[in-house]
Chain A
Amino acid sequence: MFKKLRHLWHILRRLSGDDAYEQYLKHHAQFHQATIDAPPPLSRKDFFKLWQDNQWRGVKRCC
């Protein structure tokens, strides 16, 4: 039961983009930290700005 609820919470966070920054950090650590001179990850605020503006390209809502 508890596990299911946690799974649901996980889905909710992912769907809403609540954990987008954590996902980004993970992605960053995995793909962009290979070289020493790689740029540091964006701050939460800067990342969110980019992410949000990016969310609203193209047709997102219809009838």
Chain B
Amino acid sequence: MLLKTFAHIGFGRPLILGSKFFMFKNLKLVSWIFMALLGAFAVAGIALNRGESINALWLITAAVCIYAISYRFYAAWIATKVLMVDETRATPAERLDNGRDFIPTNKWIVFGHHFAAIAGPGPLIGPTLAAQFGYLPGTLWILIGAVLGGAVQDMVTLFFSTRRNGRSLGQMARDEIGVIGGTAALIGTFLIMIILIAVLGLVVVNAMKHSPWATSTVAATIPIAMIVGIYMRNIRPGRVLEASLIGVVLLLLSVFAGGWIDHNENLRTYFDHDGLPLAYAIIVYGFAAAVLPVWLLLAPRDYLSTFMKLGTILLLAIAIVILRPDIHMPAVTQFIDGTGPIFGGKLFPFVFITIACGAISGFHALISSGTTPKLLSNERDIRMIGYGGMLLESFVAIMAMIAATVLEPGIFFAINSPAGVVGKDAIDAVAKINSWGFAVTVEQMQQLASDMGESTLFARTGGAPSLAVGMASIFGSAFGRHLLALWYHFAIMFEAIFILTTLDAGTRVGRFMLQDMLGNFSKKLGETSYTPSVILTSAIVVAGWGYFLYIGVIDPNGGVNILWPLFGIANQMLAAIALCVATGILVKSGKLKYAWVTGLPLVWLVVVTSTAAWQKIWSEDIRIGFFAAANDLSAKVASGMLPPEKAAVAPQLIFNQHLDAYLTLFFVVVLWVVILDMLRLCLRYLTGKHVLKLSEVPHEPSRLVENWVRD
């Protein structure tokens, strides 16, 4: 279905067809009208459905139609009218071709690299958590947010960076808005990296907690990656595909081996751990991965995770289409009032914070600037790579939403609700979930856990286990039910492997940024190959995310409920900065009448981020407001109400709540500084005063002729 649609809309074909194709044009028109009607029908079907369960295929249909129409019309309009993409203009890859980082590349290859870079674990986790509001709010935001916000952001950033020799977002902000904007973007990027890594580490820890099978399988990915690394570096240099194939086979074997370890009474105790030792292991691992040479761990693991990711997502799409599972979650749950167990807060603004990747993600602006533009061989590919790439990521988010909502809601909440909310005991948890009106029994959960090869599935927060259960049940019904435990641990391994890749890569990027900043003070510290500097900066970055990971693990409410909103706010703030830069450039280029294209999503993000931040800081509700939670905990400590083990960690939790509040405040202040700076710039331009000159590189005709064989 998806492939057919994409073939139909024809990536990269000329948009305007000559009059001699009049018949053909009419046919196309009719099929577009059909697609619009089908899309409208599917959306109406989803939105108006009440009471009975709905088939997942409706979600897929609505998504594909909306993507196709927006790609064909909105994206094409932006490319031709707003950006005025010029295919005769030489791109930086052509002008600066050095065979190293600037290389004109076939558009499908660039698309592959771009998509592999932007699609991480974010679009899988966010929708799973946001499913507590029901399937409808999250799905609508994923679709609308992507076509009007996220994809636009990625495309315009890619375009502006391409016109500026592939400069990074931070550099563009500095060149176009001013030093303040540039510095804000830089600091924002660094902090978002720290929080992202912490929350991803927490997701992995929660998936491995007291699960020898998951822990041993995830642990096995490390030596497997090293074997692959040594193979492609020394044994058969450069044979990347061969090495990856060996790695993938070994990974699949490790899933089997994990099951064997789990059944072995002696061996399983080595891999059966509490959250805290696992968190320490991840911290030590993260430091080692940042200091070790890339070829040994990071690069080979990246190959494995990319192949796993693409393979699994494809498999999931096929399984959903074959199986057409029913969605069991209600369209909207009562938790839109802010009492949700997974994270506190009302539908507005928290659904828009929770689902960042998949709808709009500021992080993508870092890939769209700096990395992808250096490969682009022609400007006309910008629509497909920037806009199309984001649509595909959004589709991944829709599939994650389906995998989360095909579960019975009772089971979904039993897996995802932290013990601090529903109680530690299985009977308490079940009673609490039943009181919300979602049917689930202790026996049912026990049966499910033993089917999945786990001792318990209660309070496995973070989204990864419930996604794995959802995927296992989809795969299980499509390809054989007796393999449920294998599918479950395959899904856990698949999530863990690319979470760990993001963790490695993120730590390394953080290290480079820090070295870059320190280089302003001491030349020696700025050298990326100077060992003391490498160790120092890696340690600082790891300590940063390690702290948040540690607090997340000791937090009885699971930590994800604090860290994920913080990450969401940071990510949306970065998106707002990227849109600010884009809006500023549009206004300065004399395109005020089109400024709404980036201005509208910008205004929405500012409203959402500011409201969410305001509530996270000042709300009286202890499940939302950081200060309220800290004060509540202090009062409890003072009155001696807490059991000793909770009282012991209370001071750390109180300190952390304060820190989180100030961090959130900092994010909002940074955001508003950039916005006001951008508005000042626009005002100066519109009143004819002097502004920073556009830093666009002058036109140079492309010499890569029309029929140039782009291999």
Q: Which residue of the partner chain A has the closest CB to B106? A: A14
B483 at the interface (CB under 8 A from A): no
B294-A14 in contact (CB<8A) = no
A59 touches B240 (CB 8 A): no
Instruction: Write the chain A residue with the least CB distance to B571.
Output: A63
Tell yes or no: A49 within 8 A of B by CB.
yes
Report how far A18 CA is from B241 CA in the complex, Å: 6
Report the minimum CB–CB distance from B45 to chain A (whole Å): 31
- Distance between B309 CB and nearest chain A CB, rounded to angstroms: 11
> What is the 8 Å Cβ interface bit string for chain B, positions 667-701, against chain A (1 contact, 0 not)?
00000000000000000000000000000000000
- Inter-chain CA distance A22–B387, complex, in Å, is 31
* B233 x A16 contact (CB < 8 A): no
Q: Are A62 and B508 in contact (CB under 8 A)?
A: no
**The one of A11, A12, A56 that contacts B294, using a Cβ cutoff of 8 Å:** A56
Q: A53-B295, A62-B367, A62-B502 are in contact. Are A44 and B238 (CB under 8 A)?
A: yes
Q: Are A24 and B99 in contact (CB under 8 A)?
A: yes
Contact pick for A11, options B108, B121, B123, B302, CB 8 Å: B108
By a CB distance below 8 angstroms, the chain A residues around B571 are 63
Chain B residues in 8 Å Cβ range of A21: 238
In the bound complex, what is the Cα–Cα distance between A26 and B589 (angstroms)?
41
Report the Cα distance A48→B366, complex, angstroms.
Answer: 26
Q: A52-B233, A53-B294, A54-B100 are in contact. Are A59 and B109 (CB under 8 A)?
A: no
Asked whether A61 is an interface residue with its Cβ less than 8 Å from the other chain, the reply is yes
Contact B237 A59, beta carbon cutoff 8 Å: no
A44 to B234, CA, bound (A): 10
- The docked-state distance in angstroms from the alpha carbon of A60 to that of B294 is 13
Inter-subunit contact A48/B711 (CB<8 Å): no
Q: In the complex the two chains form, is B233's CB within 8 Å of A56's CB?
A: no
User: Cβ of B509: which chain A residues have Cβ within 8 Å of it?
Assistant: 58-60
Evaluate contact between A10 and B241: CB separation under 8 angstroms. Answer: no
> A15 → chain B, closest Cβ, in Å?
4
A-facing mask of B120-145, CB < 8 A → 1, else 0? 11110000000000000000000000
Please pick, from B109, B113, B121, B241, the residue contacting A63 in the complex, using a CB distance under 8 A: B121
Total inter-chain residue pairs, C-beta < 8 Å: 102
Does A62 contact B232, Cβ atoms closer than 8 Å? no
Bound Cα distance from A60 to B122, whole angstroms: 15
Q: Among the listed B123, B232, B371, B501, which residue makes an inter-chain contact with A48, where contact means beta carbons less than 8 Å apart?
A: B232
- In the complex the two chains form, is B505's CB within 8 Å of A61's CB? yes
Chain B CB within 8 A of A4 CB: no
Q: Assess whether A55 is interfacial by the CB under 8 Å rule.
A: yes
Q: Decide if A59 touches B241 in the complex (CB within 8 Å).
A: no
Best-buried of A17, A59, A61 by chain B (most CB within 10 Å): A61
- Residues in B193-211 with C-beta less than 8 Å from chain A: 196
The docked-state distance in angstroms from the alpha carbon of A14 to that of B361 is 28
Whether B99 and A58, one on each chain, are in contact in the complex, defined by CB atoms closer than 8 angstroms, is: no
Q: Is the CB of A62 within 8 A of B99?
A: no
Q: Report the minimal beta-carbon distance from B423 to chain A, rounded to whole angstroms.
A: 32
Contact assessment for B120 and A62 in the assembled complex, using a CB-CB cutoff below 8 Å: yes
- A16 is contacted by which of B241, B501, B506 (Cβ under 8 Å)? B241
Distance of A51 from chain B, by nearest CB (Å): 8
Which B residues fall within an 8 A CB radius of A? 99-101, 106, 108-109, 112-113, 117-118, 120-123, 168, 196, 232-234, 237-241, 244, 294-295, 298-299, 302-303, 356-357, 361, 363-364, 366-367, 370-371, 501-502, 505-506, 508-509, 571, 711
Q: Could you write out 29 A-B pairs with CB less than 8 Å apart?
A: A10-B711, A11-B112, A14-B106, A16-B303, A18-B241, A20-B240, A21-B238, A24-B99, A45-B234, A45-B238, A47-B238, A48-B237, A49-B295, A52-B233, A52-B294, A54-B100, A55-B299, A56-B298, A56-B505, A58-B370, A58-B371, A59-B371, A60-B302, A61-B117, A61-B120, A61-B501, A62-B120, A62-B502, A63-B196
